[in-house]
Amino acid sequence: MNLEQIDHLALRCASLQATADWYIRTLGFEHVYPGHGGGIPLFLRLGTTFLTLFPQKENDPPAKNGQAWHLALRAPTYADFQSAQTELTAKGIVVEFRDHEISHSIYFSDPDGFLLEITTYDLKK
């Protein structure tokens, strides 16, 4: 078996369009394959990372251990990492910084409360 990278992460959303708009406006994702499958799921892409957004249904079971916990996006340089932190803060998004010794990360949530991380392994300040 030869695997290369994560293809996509599927998220259940209270409002597909509000969540898509947030990822597009806040993190720079783009909406791809519009109308595919009648518009469900919505496909978003950032580089080679895809998100598929599904509507939260009343009968969907709550998240359990082993299901998606968070999505981490990598900033290639420390300057990019700092810029992301500044941009998010300017948009009123509260971020939490963590020093993981081998990397630095900021954590924040999307409109549905899903935990997001931006991390960099470039610790040159």
Q: Tell me: the pLDDT tens digits for 66-108?
A: 567 789 898 989 999 999 999 999 999 999 999 988 889 999 9
109 pLDDT higher than 90 = yes
What pLDDT does 80 receive?
Answer: 92
pLDDT for the residue 1: 66
**Helix ranges, 1-125 (H):** 16-27, 78-90
Q: How far apart are CA 35 and CA 122, in angstroms?
A: 39
Query: Taking 70 as the threshold, does the pLDDT of residue 116 lie above it?
Result: yes
Which pLDDT belongs to residue 30? 97
Over the stretch 22-70, which tens digit does the pLDDT of each residue have?
Answer: 999 999 999 999 988 888 889 999 998 889 888 877 776 666 555 677 8
Q: What is the pTM of this model?
A: 0.76
Residue ranges of the alpha helices (H) in 28-124?
78-90
Q: Is CATH 3.10.180.10 the classification given to domain 1-56?
A: yes
Q: Do domains 1-56 and 70-125 have the same CATH topology?
A: yes
CATH number of 70-125: 3.10.180.10
Report whether 19 contacts 112 (CB < 8 A).
yes
Report the alpha-carbon distance of residue 15 to residue 86 in Å, rounded: 27
Q: Per this entry, what is the length of the chain?
A: 125
Cβ neighbours for 86, distance < 8 A, ≥ 6 positions apart: none
Q: Phi first, then psi: what are they for 67, rounded to 5°? A: -85, 170
**Structure confidence at residue 89 (pLDDT):** 96
What residue ranges do the domains of the chain occupy? Answer: 1-56, 70-125
Residues 6+ apart with CB under 8 A from 81: 75, 104, 106, 118, 119, 120, 122
